[in-house]
Amino acid sequence: MPVLPGAEPYRHEGGEVGVLLCHGFTGSPQSLRPWAEYLAGHGLTVSLPLLPGHGTRWEDMQLTGWQDWYAEVDRELHALRARCARVFVAGLSMGGALALRLAARHGDAIGGVVVVNPANKVHGLSAYALPVARHLVRTTRGIASDIARPGGVEVGYDRVPLHAAHSLRSFFRVVDRELPQVTQPLLLLRSPQDHVVPPADSARVLSRVSSTDVTEVLLEQSYHVATLDHDADRIFEESLAFVGRLAPGVGVGNEGTAAGG
C-alpha cells in the first residue's frame, strides 16, 4: 500500500550522537519531521521510522498491534546504537510511551528521554468497552490534527481501528508497570490545553519514573500535536539543549546526508 504523501520515514546520517523519534497512534513521521530536520541540521544522527500499519490507510492498522509498533522502534534503536556513541529516544503521545518503554528496557544504553504530551492510558468509559466493542464496530472517529495553529494539519487517519485501540490500551498498561525502571534524564513537555491526552497522563509518568534528572516544560500556546504547533520551536530548542547538556560537543553543525525511506 502506498505511503501517504508526507508520511514517509526519515533518516539522517550525522555525528556520533543519535536521536530516535517515535510518532503517535494513527499518526505518521510527518508530525515529527520538522523536529527531526532541526536536530539533523545541528549535526545529530536522526531516525524517524514509520510504525507498522501507519501512514497508509486505517485498514492496514487494523492488522497490527503494539508488539509490532514497539518492535519497529526497538530495531531502529539497535541500528542507532551500532552507529552512534550516545543515543537518545524521544516521542509524541503514544510515541512518548514507546520511548519510555525503550528507556525502561535498555537502561544505560540510552542517554536520555524526551517526551511531548506522552500518553499513558486510554480514557473514558469507552475504554472499558473495547474488548467487546472491537468485535462489533470496526472504527471510531479519528484523533488527528489537534493543533491550535491556524492551518496546522497532521497526516494521520480520520478513523481509529478498534482492534488497534484495544492493543494500545494493553500497551499502556505494560508501559505503566515498567515506568519505575526508567532512570535516565527526562525532559517532558506538555500542553495544558490538550484535547487528546489529559494532564493526568504526564503527571502519572512523572510520578512513576525513577529518574532524578527531570525537567517539565509547559507548552502554553499549543494543543496535542505540539510539534506542529505554536510551541514547536520551543520543543526543538529545549530538546537540543537537553541532548547537548548530556552529550557535550553536540550541536556544532556537523554535516551529513538526509534521506527519506
Which amino acid appears at position 96 of this protein? G
Q: Which one from 28, 31, 47, 93 is the annotated catalytic residue?
A: 93
Whether residue 25 is annotated as binding a ligand: the answer is yes
Whether residue 94 is annotated as binding a ligand: the answer is yes
CA distance 100 to 241: 20
CA distance 161 to 177: 25
Query: For residue 22, what are the contacts with CB-CB under 8 A and spacing of at least 6?
Result: 49, 51, 73, 89, 90, 91, 92, 94, 95, 96, 98, 99
DSSP letters along 187-231, please?
EEEE-SS-SSS-HHHHHHHHHH---SSEEEEE-TT--S-GGGSTT
Q: Which one from 42, 54, 224, 230 is the annotated catalytic residue?
A: 224
The verdict on whether 201 is a catalytic residue reads: no
The verdict on whether 93 is a catalytic residue reads: yes
The verdict on whether 224 is a catalytic residue reads: yes
Q: Which one from 146, 194, 201, 229 is the annotated catalytic residue?
A: 194
CA distance 36 to 182: 23
Query: For residue 85, what are the contacts with CB-CB under 8 A and spacing of at least 6?
Result: 16, 17
Say which residue the cell 498498561 belongs to: 173
Which amino acid appears at position 211 of this protein? S
Cα 122–chain centre separation: 16
Question: Residue ranges for the binding site?
Answer: 25, 94
Question: Residue ranges for the binding site for substrate?
Answer: 25, 94
Instruction: State the catalytic residues.
Output: 93, 194, 224
